[in-house]
Amino acid sequence: MAFQVLDLRLSQFSNTNTGLIDITDTPILIGDIGLITTAAAGTAQAGDVRVWLSGTVGVSTGGEPPDIQFVIERNGADTFGSGTVIYTSTVNPNDFTNSAFSITAADFPPATDVNTNQIRYTLFVSSSPASGNEITGPVAFNGIAAVGAGPF
């Protein structure tokens, strides 16, 4: 099969850097996309689907700079822990200013997930509640599903 983009989706939680949402130890859903895989579902190529995910999260740190954790799950719901974790990144901002964190992840979903015709990806963020860390924005989460020989 020639290289084919199956789907491209964008999720934009915030397009400015003026919002303030406290980051707590309960993971907050900040990105949610569903990539359509119908063109590969039920074919011999269902096991060859690749997914590229990226995102940007603007954070303001305050108080003591503790770790901030970003987690991407496959086929979960709006609740953290309901899907399969495919990516985890823990960062420790060492200053008390605004920072933008970039996330890039890849996934090779199993054919059983591809054959459902859609794969959902969710992005969560969490931190110590005493940290004073806040989501300021912008926050974007993007994904591309592709199959076949090509640049992936």
Q: Which CATH number does the domain housing residue 41 bear?
A: 2.60.120.660
What letters, b where the CB count within 10 A reaches 16 and e where it falls short, cover 130-149? ebbbbbbbbbbbbbbbbbbe
111 vs 63, more confident:
111
Give dist(CA 100, CA 14) in Å, integer.
13
- Model confidence at 65, in pLDDT bands (50, 70, 90)? low
Does some domain include residue 102?
yes
Average pLDDT score over residue span 109-132: 92
In the chain, the number of structural domains is: 1
Q: Which phi and psi angles does 56 have, rounded to 5°?
A: -135, 135
Does some domain include residue 152?
no
Does some domain include residue 116?
yes
Quick check: 64 pLDDT over 70?
no
Give dist(CA 114, CA 109) in Å, integer.
7
- DSSP type of residue 66: -
Does some domain include residue 126?
yes
pLDDT tens profile 26-48: 999 999 999 999 999 999 999 99
Tokens of 52: 């590229």
Average pLDDT score over residue span 78-101: 87
Q: Which of 5-14, 63-72, 94-103 has the highest mean pLDDT?
A: 5-14
Does some domain include residue 36?
yes
pLDDT over 90 percentage in the chain: 66
Q: Mean pLDDT for the chain?
A: 90
pLDDT of residue 73: 98
- Model confidence at 96, in pLDDT bands (50, 70, 90)? low
Does some domain include residue 58?
yes
Residue 44 belongs to what domain range?
Answer: 4-147
Give dist(CA 75, CA 82) in Å, integer.
8
pLDDT of residue 97: 74
Give dist(CA 33, CA 138) in Å, integer.
17
46 vs 131, more confident:
46
Asked if 57 and 30 touch (Cβ cutoff 8 Å), the reply is yes
Q: Which phi and psi angles does 110 have, rounded to 5°?
A: -65, 155
Average pLDDT score over residue span 58-62: 83
Asked if 67 and 127 touch (Cβ cutoff 8 Å), the reply is yes
Does some domain include residue 30?
yes
Give dist(CA 131, CA 106) in Å, integer.
30
Does some domain include residue 44?
yes
Quick check: 100 pLDDT over 90?
no
Of residues 2, 4, 91, 108, the one with CA closest to residue 53 = 108
